[in-house]
Amino acid sequence: MTIELENHIDPMLFPILEKVHDPEIPVLSIMDMGVVRFAQMINSVAQIKITPTYSGCPAMDVIGEDIVEAFAKENIEAKVSLVLSPAWTTDWITPRGRESLEEYGIAAPLEENADKEALLNNKRIVKCTNCGSVNTKLVSQFGSTACKALFKCEDCLEPFDYFKCLK
Amino acid sequence: MMKNENLVHYIYGIADNALILGQRLSELCGHGPSLETDIALTNMALDLLGQTRSYYQYAAQLLGDGKTEDDIAYLRIERQYKNVLLVEQPNKHFGYVITRQFFYDVFHLLLLQELQNSKDETLSAIAKKGIKEVSYHQRFSSDWMKRLGDGTEESRKKTQEAINDLWKFTDELFHMTEDDKQVFEAEIGVDVTTLKQLYNQRVKEVLEEATLTIPEIKWFQKGGKQGIHSEHMGYLLSDLQYMQRTYPNMKW
């Protein structure tokens, strides 16, 4: 019997997993998103465990298929399973992931209290990804996907997405 | 002693609420009163359907008879759905949708906060995940209750009417079925009767701020948990199950 270490990701598998991206946010690799919870070769099969960002995230099925495909290209068989616990949090997005988000035009999540201030009390603290101003206004608590809210910059007038803090 | 069957039914009770409310919200896709609310309501539908899948996948595993999440979602008959009457009520207007959502969200969050302590690891994990999403739903619906109640004369009137209409369905949320009792005794399920007081308090807090009132009624409608649904349920299911029944064995 093989003992599975929780959260254990075999460094050898890292480069392959890095090639898989979130279909909704293509700049972000699944490693940068922090959704890969376990990756190890067990009896010549890559066993990968991923956790959903949101329960109904339609990207999860696609990510699963993309992982199998990425490994197939390296002639490795991969099996993907879903784990729910511990639940994903935006804290697991890597610093590089946060940078990629900002470059892509999605403001990275603020810490929990600041996030509430921005979303519930309309405090102007979310930084516009276009011009960097914090003179920004919440347009909608839900954006194009469940993980984002919609903001508008009142200086450059551009709308932009904000990745909501999830704890 | 709790039997496997009790647990499966218990899971249906929770999951069916999410499925049916998710279906009602999905009906609004492309029909919301504004782009933002449309997106918000369908995002919430997606959260609920995602939770439903986790519950049904687990129920299918417990059944162990080859049935899948799709069979459970699409191929049961009306009497086998255990959702409360509240969630199947139709989308009469935006104030109605928000009121229904608010009444359910407050309960849903209280339920999941208890369920996360379940001895059953899978249910606990689904609950923990769900809490994050449902807290957001509750914020959204509470916020809109206040805006509608304390909004225009028209929005206030319509929302108060929705409350008067829907309040009678809330008591059922706190009824325990035989399955619920067995699963609670096994320290897996939640004793929902204990949530009622806090529920009423939370609803009242928001409604007061919204300048709305809870009607004083003594008679409450029930039946959903026993599979006895309102006339709306059949129509909803015919829509929900159409695809699977027309093209058998389709997958989510």
pLDDT tens per residue across span A95-144: 999 999 999 999 999 999 999 899 888 899 999 999 999 999 999 888 88
* Token pair belonging to B133: 């999403």
pLDDT at B237 over 70: yes
Answer whether B132 sits within 8 Å of A85, measured CB to CB: no
**Which of A52, A88, A142 lies at the smallest CB-CB distance from B40?**
A142
Distance CA A134, CA A127 (A): 5
DSSP 8-state secondary structure symbol assigned to residue A29: B
Q: Tell me the C-alpha distance between A16 and A31, whole Å.
A: 10
CB contact under 8 A, B126 and A84: yes
What does the buried/exposed string (b/e) look like for B11-34 if buried means 16 or more CB atoms within 10 Å of the residue's CB? bbbbbbbbbbbbbbbbbbeeebee
Question: Does this complex have an ipTM over 0.85?
Answer: no
Question: Which residue in B47, B49, B125 is closest to A85 by CB distance?
Answer: B125
A165–chain B nearest CA distance, Å: 10
Q: Cα distance from A82 to chain B (closest Cα, Å)?
A: 10
Between helices B153-166 and B94-115, what is the axis angle to 10°?
50
Instruction: Report the pLDDT value the prediction gives residue A146, as an integer from 0 to 100.
Output: 81
What is chain A's pLDDT, residue by residue, as a tens digit (167 residues)?
Answer: 344 444 589 999 999 999 999 988 889 999 999 999 999 999 999 999 999 988 888 888 899 999 999 999 999 999 999 998 888 999 999 999 999 999 999 999 999 999 989 988 889 999 999 999 999 999 988 888 888 999 999 999 999 999 999 88
One-letter amino acid for residue A100 of the chain: S
A59: nearest Cα among A29, A98, A16? A29
Q: Which tokens hold the place of A11?
A: 């460094």
From residue B145, give the alpha-carbon distance in Å to each of A88, B102, B132, B139. Answer: 30, 8, 21, 10
Asked if B140 is an interface residue toward chain A (Cβ–Cβ < 8 A), one would say yes
Strands A106-107 and A136-140, sheet pairing: unpaired
> Which of the 8 DSSP states describes residue A3?
P
Q: In sequence order, what DSSP letters do the residues of B209-227 get, joined into one string? A: HTT------S-----GGGT
Is B39 part of the contact surface with chain A (CB cutoff 8 Å)?
yes
Question: pLDDT value at position A122?
Answer: 85
Instruction: Give B175→chain A minimum CA distance, Å.
Output: 27
Cross-chain residue pair B43–A145, CB shorter than 8 Å? yes
Determine, for residues B132 and A150 on separate chains, whether the beta-carbon distance falls below 8 Å.
no
The domain limits of chain B are 4-246
Tell me which chain A residues have a C-beta less than 8 angstroms from the C-beta of B127: none
- Res. B35: pLDDT tops 80: yes
For chain B positions 176-205, those within 8 Å of chain A (CB to CB) are none
Q: Are residues B51 and A56, on separate chains, in Cβ contact within 8 Å?
A: yes
Which percentage of chain B shows pLDDT scores above 90?
96
Q: What gap in Å lies between CA B187 and CA B184, rounded to an integer? A: 5
The answer to whether the Cβ–Cβ distance between A140 and B133 falls below 8 Å is no
The minimum CA-CA distance between B221 and chain A, rounded to whole Å, is: 31
Instruction: Provide the pLDDT confidence category of residue B252 given band limits of 50, 70 and 90.
Output: low
Read off the pLDDT band of B106 (50, 70, 90).
very high
Chain B: give the shortest CA distance to residue A120, in Å: 8
CA atoms within 13 A on the CB side of A152: 4
Instruction: Say which residue the tokens 């997958």 belong to.
Output: B251
CB atoms within 10 A of CB A75: 6
Give CA–CA dist B207/B190, Å, rounded.
26
**What are the pLDDT digits (tens) for B161-200?**
999 999 999 999 999 999 999 999 999 999 999 999 999 9
pTM across the whole model: 0.90
**Which of A6, A55, A162 would best serve as a mutation to test chain B binding (most B beta carbons within 10 A)?**
A55
Q: Which residue in the set A52, A142, A166 is minimally distant from B43, CB to CB?
A: A142
Mean of all residue pLDDT scores within chain B: 96
Q: Searching chain B, which residue's CA lies closest to the CA of residue A90? A: B132
Q: Which structural domains are found in chain A, ordered by start?
A: 11-88 (3.30.300.130), 95-163 (no CATH)
Q: Does domain B4-246 fall into CATH 1.20.1260.10?
A: yes
Rounded average pLDDT over B138-167? 97
Q: Give dist(CA B135, CA B132) in Å, integer.
A: 6
Q: If you measure CA to CA, which chain A residue comes closest to B46?
A: A56
What is the distance between the alpha carbons of residues A11 and A16, in angstroms, rounded to a whole number? Answer: 10
Whether the Cβ atoms of residue A48 and residue A79 lie closer than 8 Å to each other: yes
How far A119 CA lies from chain B's nearest CA (Å)? 10
